[in-house]
Amino acid sequence: MIERTERSEGHASMRGGSGAALRLGTRGSALALAQSQMVADALTTATGRAVELVRIQTAGDRSAAPVAQLGVGVFVSALRDALLADEIDFAVHSYKDLPTGDHPRLHIAAIPQREDPRDALVARDGLTLAELPPGAAIGTGAVRRIAQLHALGLQLEVTPIRGNVDSRIARVLGPAADLDAVVLARAGIARLGRTAEITETLDPMLMLPAPAQGALAIECRAGDTDLVELLAVLDHAPTRAAVTAERAMLATLEAGCSAPVAAHAELAEGEHGDEIYLRGAVISPDGARAIRLSRTGTPADAAEIGKALAADLLDAGADTLMGSTEK
Ligand SMILES: NCc1[nH]cc(CCC(=O)O)c1CC(=O)O
Ligand 1 centroid to 108 CA: how many Å?
18
Quote the pLDDT of residue 239: 97
9 within some domain: yes
Cβ-in-10-Å burial (0-12, 13-18, 19+) of 273 comes to exposed
Residues 18 and 98 reside in one and the same domain: yes
Whether 221 is in the pocket of ligand 1, judged by its Cβ within 6 Å, is no
Residue of 63, 72, 94, 191 with the most ligand 1 atoms within 8 Å of its CB, for mutation: 94
How remote is the CA of residue 149 from the centroid of ligand 1, in Å? Answer: 18
Question: Atom 8, ligand 1: which residue's CA is nearest?
Answer: 188
pLDDT for the residue 58: 67
pLDDT tens-place string over residues 11-32: 443 334 457 899 999 999 999 9
Residue 94 lies in a domain: yes
Is residue 208, in this structure, part of any structural domain at all? Answer: no
Instruction: Examine residue 326 and state whether it is found in any structural domain, yes or no.
Output: no
Residue 206 placed within a domain: no
The residue whose CA is least distant from atom 14 of ligand 1 is 185
Looking at the fold, whether 92 and 41 belong to one and the same domain comes out as yes
Whole-prediction pTM value? 0.90
For the CA of 213, the nearest atom of ligand 1: 10
Is 188's C-beta closer than 6 angstroms to any atom of ligand 1? yes
User: Is the CB of residue 97 below 6 angstroms from any atom belonging to ligand 1?
Assistant: yes
The torsion angle over the Cα atoms of residues 272, 95, 259 and 201, rounded to 10 degrees, is: 80
CA of 12 to the centre of ligand 1 (A): 35
Q: Could you report the predicted ipTM of this complex, rounded to two decimals?
A: 0.95
Q: 21 and 153 share a domain?
A: no
Domain count within the chain: 3
Residues 24 and 106 in one domain: yes
Strand 22-26 to 90-94 pairing: parallel
Q: Which atom of ligand 1 is nearest to the CA of 215?
A: 11
Taking 50 as the pLDDT cut, the residues of the chain under it are 1, 10-17, 325-327
248 and 292 share one domain: yes
Is the CB–ligand 1 distance for residue 94 below 6 Å?
yes
Whether residue 220 is found in the same domain as residue 291: no
Q: Quick one: pLDDT at residue 144?
A: 95
Q: What's the pLDDT score for residue 271?
A: 81
**What per-residue confidence (pLDDT) applies to 16?**
41
Q: What per-residue confidence (pLDDT) applies to 49?
A: 96
Based on the residue annotation, tell me whether 224 is a catalytic residue of this protein. Answer: no
CATH of the domain at 256: 3.30.160.40
Domain shared by 150 and 78, yes or no: no
**36 occurs within a structural domain:** yes
Task: Please check whether residue 205 is in contact with residue 231, taking contact to mean a CB–CB distance below 8 angstroms.
Answer: no
Strand order in the sheet with 261-270: 261-270, 273-283, 290-297
Distance (Å, whole) CA 83 – CA 62: 20
96-118 pLDDT, tens per residue?
999 999 999 999 999 999 999 99
Position 285 in a domain: yes
What integer pLDDT is reported at residue 111 of this predicted model? 98
pLDDT at 6: 54
- Residue 60 near ligand 1, beta carbon < 6 Å: no
Q: Is the CB of 187 under 6 A from ligand 1?
A: yes
Nearest to 278 by CA among 326, 256, 311, 230: 311
Task: Write out the residue range of the structural domain in which residue 33 sits.
Answer: 2-112+215-235
Determine how β-strand 290-297 pairs with β-strand 137-140: unpaired
Catalytic residue among 97, 166, 301, 319: 97
Give, using CA atoms, the residue closest to atom 1 of ligand 1: 97
Q: What's the gap in Å between 81 CA and the centre of ligand 1? A: 21
